[in-house]
Amino acid sequence: MKTKQIFKGRVVTLNLETVTLPNGATVELEVIHHPGAAAVVPMKENGTVVLIRQYRHAVGGYIYEIPAGKLHPGEDPRDCAMRELEEEVGYRATSLELVTTFFTTPGFTDEVIHIYKGTGLTPGTQKLGGDEVLDIVEILLEKAIDQIQDGTIRDGKTIVGLQSVYLRDRSG
């Protein structure tokens, strides 16, 4: 494999990679390398999920999301999930259960997101970064599922996380 770095930023690296595919063909691919991320579906005992309504410049406005963040070098995804939960929504979880791990867009990036269900929520300290503009929204999980269906919730990790927790909780 031949690799040419096109761009290296704070979050991603873009490479032009010449690779030989399993069928023997040699192709050039643009690949974005990302350190990965962790996210949390924060659940209260009454069935309420804590979401954020966050401004995202790339999509031109506010979207609904579960708390999430980029992994630091060598960081355990569970530690990242705990950190992001407190920083973004001001809660700590006494229990984090891994729900799923998935590739976000495997056609051009190696980004993986680890999603946890957080329960036993207790107040912590919200510590937003300078680039985070958000509101906290608490709604019943069933209503959040309805908002996926009606197009209100459109963020991929949030859809995967909410639906995974919903299906897992329903199946016992």
Candidates 157, 140, 139, 8; CA nearest to 77 is 157
* Tokens, residue 143: 């209503």
CA–CA distance, 126 with 92 (Å, rounded to integer): 10
Q: Is the pLDDT of residue 133 over 70?
A: yes
Strand pairing category for 37-42 and 48-56: unpaired
- In this prediction, residues 41-61 reach a mean pLDDT of 97
- In this prediction, residues 5-15 reach a mean pLDDT of 96
Asked if 51 contacts 66 with a C-beta cutoff of 8 angstroms, the reply is: yes
Instruction: Give yes or no: residues 26 and 100 share one domain.
Output: no
The per-residue pLDDT for 140 is 98
Instruction: Give yes or no: residues 97 and 148 share one domain.
Output: yes
Instruction: Give yes or no: residues 101 and 121 share one domain.
Output: yes
- In this prediction, residues 63-85 reach a mean pLDDT of 97
* Tokens, residue 131: 């680039």
Structure pTM? 0.95
In the chain, pLDDT over 90 holds for what percent of residues? 97
* DSSP calls for 30-90: EEEE---EEEEEEB-TTSEEEEEEEEEGGGTEEEEE--EEEPPTT--HHHHHHHHHHHHHS
Instruction: Give yes or no: residues 119 and 153 share one domain.
Output: yes
Instruction: Give yes or no: residues 144 and 64 share one domain.
Output: yes
pLDDT level of residue 15 (50, 70, 90 thresholds): very high
* DSSP calls for 92-144: EEEEEEEEEEEES-TTTB--EEEEEEEEEEEE------TT--EEEEEEEHHHH
pLDDT in tens, 90-109: 999 999 999 999 999 999 99
The per-residue pLDDT for 169 is 87
* Residues ≥6 apart with Cβ < 8 Å to 75: none
What is the average pLDDT value for the chain, to the nearest integer?
97
The per-residue pLDDT for 8 is 97
Per-residue b/e over 40-49, b at no fewer than 16 CB within 10 Å? bbbbbeeebb
Residue 26 structural domain: 1-33
Instruction: Give yes or no: residues 112 and 29 share one domain.
Output: no
- In this prediction, residues 126-146 reach a mean pLDDT of 96
Instruction: Give yes or no: residues 72 and 17 share one domain.
Output: no
Q: Is the pLDDT of residue 172 over 80?
A: no
